[in-house]
Structure formats: structure tokens, C-alpha cells
Amino acid sequence: MASRKRLSPEESRKSALEAARALLIEAGPQSVTLKAVSARIGRTHANLLHHFGSASGLQKELARHLAETVCESIKDAVRASRAGLGSPREVVDLAFDAFDKEGAGALASWMILTGNEDALTPIVEAIHQLVDEIAPEEAGSHGDLARVHEDTLALVLLAMGDALIGSALARSLKLPDTAARDRAERMLLNSIAAATQPG
């Protein structure tokens, strides 16, 4: 019988979060349990309990991991857009994909519905940190700073809503599946145009 490779605490946590992310994408948020994750990575339930404390602790750390990973990608896309190497649509697609394809919207909803009151804290904190980093670069005045905050709020709310009911609602309204993304892109383009117009 082969012995398991000994992992550092950080490697063990990272492995568990990667497995949890895969389970989230494959089978939805209800599948992100200590038992399922420990089985996937070949560790004991007690090992994961040591790292995360509970299933809700694991889910909260997964939300933080997803948010931080996505926010880094969005930050890179914003900077590329500023340098003329990207577009606002890339920023929109990254945000929408985080809540939809990466499962952050479903995970946040599941955590709230199952009584994990501080479920959104890691996501909100990561987005706030992202805005704090990019807003000073984007904003030349207090009014511009408020605009960046409002754009971020609208983008996140659109992405979250689209992940949860976007396709069904768009079909019902006879709109393309990309309608919410298209609206978010127009919002950002209009905001950029307004910010660059002289006084």
C-alpha cells in the first residue's frame, strides 16, 4: 500500500480549495462538503476539519479563493484596457464568468440560504480591495471615485443576477442570452466616455 505524500499545511489547504472549486463547477454548491472534498484529495475528514473548521468554513474560504482569483484577473484586464490592450467587454466577461461559470453566484446563494450569514463577506472584501486598488488610478476626483464605486456595484449586481436567473429571464423577454453582459458593457463604455469628456 503506497503512502500518501505529506503536504505542508498551505499545500493541503490549496489542494482542498482546488478540489472544492472543481466540485462546485461540476455538481453545484451543495456538493462542496468536507466529506466530498476529503475523498477527492485522499485526505481525512479530520484533516479538512483542522484546516477549515466546518463545511461552512470551507465554503467561505472557497468564496474568498474564487473572489481573489477573479479580482486579480479583472485587475489585469482593467490595466490592459487602460493600456489599449484590452476592452471593457473583457472586464465584463470576467466578472460575469466568475459568478456564472466559476460558480460564485450559486455558492453565495447556497451559503445564504443555508444560514451562513457572513457568506458574502469574502467576496465583498475582495471586490472592495480591487476597487480600492484600481479606483485611484481611474479617478481624478471625488466624483470620479464615486462613479467607479457605482460602476462596480452595478457590474457585480448584474453579474450575480445574470448567473442566477439571467438566461431564463432573457428568453422570457425575447432577448439574447448576452443581454445583461451587453448592458453592462454599454454602462462601462458610457461611464468611460463621460469621465474623459472635458469639464
CA 89 to each of CA 176, 185, 199: distance values in angstroms, whole numbers, following the listed order: 16, 6, 26
Percent of the chain with pLDDT over 70: 91
Q: Is the pLDDT of residue 172 over 70?
A: yes
pLDDT tens track for 75-89: 888 878 777 777 889
Q: CA torsion sign, 83 to 86 to 88 to 91?
A: negative
Structural contact between residues 98 and 72, judged by C-beta atoms closer than 8 angstroms: no
Three cell numbers, residue 178: 448576452
Judge whether 70 and 155 are in contact, CB under 8 Å.
Answer: no
- pLDDT reading at 4 higher than 70: no
Which residues, including other chains, have CB under 8 Å from residue 155's CB and lie 6 or more apart? 91, 92, 95, 184, 187, 188
pLDDT value at 171 more than 90: yes
Alpha-carbon distance 175 to 183, whole Å? Answer: 12
Terminal C-alpha separation, the chain = 73
In the prediction, which pLDDT does 82 show? 74
Q: Is the pLDDT of residue 141 over 60?
A: no
Reported for 192-197, long-range contacts at CB under 8 A and 24+ positions apart, including other chains, are 192/88, 194/147, 195/138, 195/140, 195/144, 195/147
Per-residue pLDDT tens for 30-55? 898 999 999 999 888 888 888 898 88
**pLDDT class for 194, splitting at 50, 70, 90?**
confident
Cα–Cα–Cα angle for 150, 110, 46, nearest 5°?
120
